[in-house]
């Protein structure tokens, strides 16, 4: 038992953890392990721990949960150090008596800033200007851009991150439309609720901030891409399966879509060479929550979640 009266726990942070959480948990007398087991090895080891903490790189599917609940296994709690739970079979874990928690409060600003970063990239061709200058080119005339000021941003999904980007975009002088399945939200009168078709047809920039749908069907599919304003830009820092990337490439080729800013992909890392080399795509390797501030906040949330879970 530690000072808080909790049993000492063995905690595996399979995708790493901020020092804040590591320090806080060790101060409580728990043992933190930061081995990074691959999926196969993890199946053998997971039952040795009371708690596993993961980011999006580790998948905890039904077969992993079975391993974690086999005879003699100890696992009691899964923590997703981040927001999206789509790499975890939450329902199955809970049906087997394992608690599942995420840490949704700390990364909104970082994700919203990255989405804005991609918008600036696309508006001013920063991603390509950077690449071509490194190749010795000086394409001053080639990179005529647009301003964000005065343009319309359409936000699909209006939770913490959607709201955060709405106020930042508004401060930049953008008009903000938002769509969320449940309808207009109270208390956001500075922004305009729009149905999905209106948002697609009126926005210069469209940004996604919604979880994957339960059947994993993309919200931006071939049909949606026929409805967008010609030359609009699409930003996806949410989940790869929200977009049909083949249809996106087609829309880029046809000039219906002006460009795309992508931090998440249907397959990670992405393998489609057309996607990887397209000059109208600004891309980052799923780094929306990868800032000092977000990871520090997530670390503090992780520590609080563990204390709360085991106290109860």
Residues with a catalytic annotation lie at 239, 268, 286
Strand pairing category for 281-283 and 205-208: unpaired
The 3-state DSSP class for residue 160 equals helix
Which sign, positive or negative, has the C-alpha torsion 191, 262, 80, 293? negative
50 to each of 23, 67, 219, 308, how far by Cα in Å?
A: 18, 13, 37, 15
Query: What residues make contact with ligand 3PG under the rule CB under 6 A?
Result: 55-56, 82-84, 107, 286, 288-290
Distance CA 187, CA 84 (A): 25
Please state the closest distance from residue 156 (CB atom) to ligand 3PG, in A: 16
Cβ nearer to ligand 3PG, comparing 194 with 289: 289
Cβ nearer to ligand 3PG, comparing 82 with 297: 82
Cβ nearer to ligand 3PG, comparing 174 with 260: 260
Among 34, 80, 40, residue whose Cα is nearest residue 57: 80
Q: Which residue is nearest to ligand 3PG (CB)?
A: 82
Distance CA 6, CA 26 (A): 13
Please state the closest distance from residue 93 (CB atom) to ligand 3PG, in A: 17
Please state the closest distance from residue 15 (CB atom) to ligand 3PG, in A: 7
Q: Compute how many other C-beta atoms are within 10 angstroms of the C-beta atom of residue 210.
A: 19
Cβ nearer to ligand 3PG, comparing 131 with 287: 287
Please state the closest distance from residue 239 (CB atom) to ligand 3PG, in A: 7
The 3-state DSSP class for residue 240 equals helix
Residue with token string 């339960």: 214
């Amino acid at each position: 038992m530690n000072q808080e009266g909790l049993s000492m726990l063995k905690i595996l942070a399979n995708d790493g953890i901020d020092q804040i959480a590591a320090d806080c948990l060790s101060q409580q007398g728990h043992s933190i392990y930061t081995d990074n087991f691959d999926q196969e090895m993890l199946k053998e080891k997971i039952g040795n721990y009371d708690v596993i903490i993961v980011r999006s790189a580790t998948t905890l599917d039904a077969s992993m949960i079975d391993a974690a609940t086999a005879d003699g296994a100890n696992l009691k709690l899964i923590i997703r150090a981040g927001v999206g739970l789509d790499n975890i079979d939450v329902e199955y874990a809970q049906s087997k008596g394992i608690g599942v928690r995420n840490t949704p409060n700390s990364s909104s600003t970082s994700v919203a800033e990255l989405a804005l970063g991609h918008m600036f990239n696309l508006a001013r061709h920063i991603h390509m200007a950077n690449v071509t200058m490194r190749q010795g080119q000086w394409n001053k005339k080639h990179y005529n851009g647009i301003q964000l000021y005065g343009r319309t941003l359409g936000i699909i999904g209006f939770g913490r991150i959607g709201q955060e980007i709405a106020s930042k975009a508004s401060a930049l002088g953008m008009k903000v439309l938002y769509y969320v399945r449940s309808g207009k939200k109270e208390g956001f009168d500075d922004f305009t609720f729009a149905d999905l078709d209106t948002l697609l047809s009126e926005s210069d920039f469209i940004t996604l901030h919604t979880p994957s749908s339960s059947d994993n069907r993309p919200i931006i599919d071939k049909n949606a891409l026929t409805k967008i304003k010609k030359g609009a830009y699409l930003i996806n820092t949410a989940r790869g399966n929200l977009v049909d990337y083949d249809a996106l490439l087609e829309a880029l080729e046809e000039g219906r879509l002006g460009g795309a800013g992508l931090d998440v992909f249907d397959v990670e890392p992405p393998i489609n060479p057309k996607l990887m080399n397209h000059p109208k795509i600004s891309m980052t390797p799923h780094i929306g929550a990868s800032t000092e501030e977000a990871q520090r906040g997530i670390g503090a949330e992780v520590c609080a979640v563990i204390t709360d879970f085991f106290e109860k």
